[in-house]
């Protein structure tokens, strides 16, 4: 099963919730490439749930999704299923790149298990459960190709969009999301103005949005460059930033 990446066409920070988490308004689009692959296979090296991959990550979000389903009452079904099977992860989406790779993997796993084990969990329930794992997962569960996303990522409204062909650059720079958000908090910003701009952006198609300047669309670009100076050249070359970076894009000429 393919776990596709996403891009943020715009990303505006408009406040914080009671937990002090940042509230956003953003346009998410689903990309055809790059994508990770989750493959069920009979190859088995150890007992229990086994994730096989060249990608090494402590506390992998797929394992967290597995544990979440177990805690929701599906432990027996999962243990029986993975008694003779393993899960292979082919990692193609760059990490720490603003493309939602981990979130997409988790969403893909939840949908795969729901289907394979016939758990009959509704999409609405899966979205609710996914918020325990990460904010972007809900978008990948929605199945939408383009959506306006709000709150902490759980508010998703499908958008009838026009998406141009995009030119991508994936710098070998691991942008840490929490650090970029923290740097933003240290800067001068206006949540009310950000929300006003976001309300306008939500009405525009992606082709129209990408006529704006890059700094107008993503509130985190300046903070990203401040933390990772090598990103400056992409800012100056009129690339747009996805998420907190480091992936950047522009419209193909």
Q: Which pLDDT value is given to residue 55?
A: 82
d(CA 213, CA 91): 32
Q: What would the two tokens of residue 131 be?
A: 């918020």
Residue closest to 107 by CA, chosen among 141, 60, 78: 141
Average pLDDT across the chain, whole number: 95
Give CATH for domain 166-251.
3.30.70.890
Could you say which of 36, 136, 161, 219 is catalytic? 136
148-179 per-position pLDDT tens digit: 999 999 999 999 999 999 999 999 999 999 99
DSSP string, 74-117: IHHHHHHHTTS-EEEEE--SPSSSSS-HHHHHHHHHHHHHHHHT
Please tell me the distance from the alpha carbon of residue 95 to that of residue 84, in angstroms, as a whole number. 30
Tell me, yes or no, if 136 is annotated catalytic: yes
pLDDT over 90 percentage in the chain = 92
User: Using alpha carbons only, what angle is made at residue 67 by residues 48 and 86, rounded to the nearest 5 degrees?
Assistant: 35
8 Å CB contact between 192 and 12: no
Domain boundaries, the chain: 2-158, 166-251
pLDDT at 54: 87
pLDDT of residue 161: 98
The pLDDT of residue 209? 98
At 66 the pLDDT is 97
**CA geometry: angle 185, 231, 253, nearest 5 deg:** 120
The pLDDT score that the predictor gives to residue 56 is: 74
- Can you give the pLDDT at residue 58? 59
Which of 6, 12, 25, 183 is flagged as catalytic?
Answer: 6
Cβ-contact 89, 35 below 8 angstroms: no
Distance CA 223, CA 204 (A): 25
E strands, the chain, are 2-16, 22-41, 51-52, 86-90, 146-151, 155-158, 166-169, 240-241, 248-251
Which pLDDT value is given to residue 24?
Answer: 97
pTM of the model: 0.94
Query: What span, in angstroms and rounded, lies between the C-alpha atoms of 236 and 189?
Result: 21
Lookup: tokens for 191: 């949540």
**Owner of token pair 């919730």:** 17
Residues of the chain below pLDDT 70? 57-59
Could you confirm whether 6 is annotated as catalytic? yes
**2-158 CATH:** 3.30.230.10
């Amino acid at each position: 099963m393919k776990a596709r990446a996403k891009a943020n066409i715009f990303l505006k920070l408009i406040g914080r919730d009671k937990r002090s988490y940042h509230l956003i308004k953003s346009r998410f689009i689903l990309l055809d490439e790059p994508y990770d692959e989750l493959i069920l296979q009979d190859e088995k090296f150890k007992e229990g749930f086994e994730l096989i991959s060249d990608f090494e990550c402590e506390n992998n979000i797929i394992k967290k999704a597995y544990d979440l389903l177990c805690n929701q009452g599906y432990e027996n079904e999962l243990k029986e299923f993975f008694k003779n099977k393993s899960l292979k992860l082919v990692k193609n989406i760059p990490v720490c790149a603003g493309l939602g790779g981990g979130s997409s993997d988790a969403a893909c796993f939840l949908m795969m298990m729901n289907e394979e084990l016939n758990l009959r969990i509704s999409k609405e329930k899966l979205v609710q459960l996914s918020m325990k794992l990460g904010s972007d997962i809900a978008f990948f569960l929605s199945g939408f190709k383009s959506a306006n996303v709000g709150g902490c990522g759980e508010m998703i409204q499908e958008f009838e969009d026009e998406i141009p062909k995009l030119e991508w650059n994936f710098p070998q720079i691991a942008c840490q999301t929490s650090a970029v958000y923290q740097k933003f908090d240290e800067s001068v910003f206006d949540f009310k103005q950000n929300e006003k701009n976001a309300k306008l952006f939500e009405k525009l198609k992606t082709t129209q949005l990408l006529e704006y300047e890059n700094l107008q669309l993503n509130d985190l670009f300046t903070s990203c460059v401040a933390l990772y100076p090598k990103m400056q050249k992409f800012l100056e070359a009129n690339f747009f930033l996805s998420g907190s970076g480091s992936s950047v894009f522009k419209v193909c000429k």
